[in-house]
Structure 1
Amino acid sequence: MVIRRAVVTGASSGIGEATVRVLRAQGWEVVGVARRPKRLARLAAETGASTIACDLTDPDAVAALVAELERTGPVHALVQVAGGARGTDSVEQGSIDDWQWMYDANVLTTQRLVAGLLPLLRRAAAADGHADTVFVTSTAAQSAYPGGGGYNAAKAAESMLVKVLRQELHGEPIRVVEVAPGMVHTEEFALNRLGGDVAAAESVYDGVAEPLIADDVAELIAYALNAPRRVNLDLVTMRPLAQAAQHLLARGTLHVRTDD
């Protein structure tokens, strides 16, 4: 039996960290990739995963990452979670620096990883039957909202990149999966977006009955990777039950309507 090896980005927190933990529990070999070596060291100690510290917005660092992965073993799956949002300004008032960072972190990082790792994924697919790519985008790629212009644009671009890649890999045994979560309560996403303002970050989730958590997304990613190789989940949009649409969020207890 082949033990498959996955590279999971954004592994120092949130969905990326949860994905490392879930895949390790299911017997995968995992390489967790993120910028923060101390968090990665803790994750490695707790899960047995391998880790590599890397700033994915740095082309030279990504090249070194690819070389290290090639040196240390096959790559059967890429799970691209790294990215993020900065700011909630209007298009008119938007920070060019924030917008540039979001494009670099969400779009160019994804392209660099695909370009660097596809030769390794093809090698694994040829040897073991198939390989996988999974990209975590966002419902922000699907629905615009005021204050979301930079993030909407970056995630829409990443989502389109994934769709093009699936067509370009047509006929090859490499799955291309997109997972687009809605509201996920993680420790850092809203905090980073809102410039470290803890109160503002927590207010995003105030009163929401059970937003998604990182484990929910990680379990879906694991299903996509473990599904029979004939099955490709082109796009899975997942939201908490309390979020019927990007702009339609129930706060307070969910309850059945009555005629009273």
Structure 2
Amino acid sequence: MEALQGRRVVVTGASSGIGAAVVRAVAAAGGRVGLLARRADRLAALADEVGGHAAAADVTDPDAVTAALARLAGSLGGLDAVVAAAGTMHLGAVADTDPRRWREVFDVNVGGLLATAHAALPHLGEGASFVTISSMSGRRVPSAAGGVYAASKHAAHAVDETLRREAGARGVRVTTVAPGFVATDLMVGDAARDDVAAFRERMHDLGLTPEHVAAAVVHVLGLPPEVCVVEYALTSTAQQQQGDGAQRSSTRQQQ
């Protein structure tokens, strides 16, 4: 339960979903946590709960992320790991989707990841870790409706492979955690739509919990410094048995 005793970890997207679960899991494993997300009220409440430090910022604003991460590093007395859990999902066929949604997906899932890495790398030395919460959609396209989201996650995998070449050369461990369905409130903003409600029900019925993903992150972070997990892909046995299914909704994860 104390695999991360004293480790200083910043988590983005920390106010809900997988990010919040990672915050709690790291704290339970003995780590000291910095929380970064947009929603300052939720962030402050969770920071109080785990005895962590909070800094509100939108990952799509590189200057804000750099400043917030520097504040957290100062509060923690340095950094041993950063977990990039901020993300967004919009599902729908290319012909039926507002092009502004595509930009939002790439701004958060790719631009936000790059901004986080840019801000984090100066604070991470040999033996430190950079973990990206991606998706199994980063290795295949599950459906036409999931194509744009999958493209952003393919890009996220490419970013991590680049970071392994760049930061790995100086001993920073870069890991991509790629879950399948995860039962979160990802779709709360569009819950009245029948297609979104149907997908949300399927996701909750078949998905992992955020805590499953958080446990994977703690496992990765707790490994000896000479071990780097390149990619940690996980799915529920229920999803494995049923297959991915069609994805036809539009969603946004609240960071």
- Which TM-score band applies after superposition, normalised by the shorter structure? 0.7 to 0.9
TM-score (norm 1): 0.85
- Unaligned stretches of 5+ residues in structure 1: 250-260
Q: 1:183 to 1:199 in 2, by over 3 A?
A: same
The alignment yields a C-alpha RMSD, in angstroms, of 2.2
Greater RCO (CA < 8 Å, at least 6 residues apart): 2
Give yes or no for the alignment of 1:191 onto 2:188: yes
- Structure 2 residue runs of 5 or longer lacking an equivalent are 246-255
Contact 2:191 2:197 in 1 (8 A): no
**Alpha-carbon offset, residue 90 of structure 1:** 1.2
Matched, 1:215 2:211: yes
Alignment of 1:1-260 (within 5 A): 3-72=6-75, 73-86=77-90, 88-122=91-125, 125=126, 130-144=127-141, 145-187=143-185, 189-192=186-189, 195-197=190-192, 200-206=195-201, 210-244=206-240, 247-248=243-244
Q: Which amino acid aligns with 1:84?
A: T
SS at match of 2:94: coil
State the alpha-carbon separation in 2 of the partners of residues 121 and 239 from structure 1: 30
CA displacement 1:195-228 (0-9 Å, x = unmatched):
3437644422546755200000000000000111
In the alignment, the residues of structure 2 paired with residue 18 and residue 105 of structure 1 have an alpha-carbon distance, to the nearest angstrom, of 20
Q: What per-residue deviation string (whole Å, max 9, x for no partner) do you get for residues 202-260 of structure 1? A: 422546755200000000000000111122111111111012289445xxxxxxxxxxx
Q: Give the TM-score, by structure 2 length.
A: 0.86
> Percent of aligned pairs with the same residue?
34
Q: Number of aligned residue pairs: give it.
A: 239
Distance in 2, matches of 1:248 and 1:85, equals 16
**Separation (CA, whole Å) in 2 of partners of 1:59 and 1:223:** 29
Distance 1:85 1:205, change over 3 A: closer
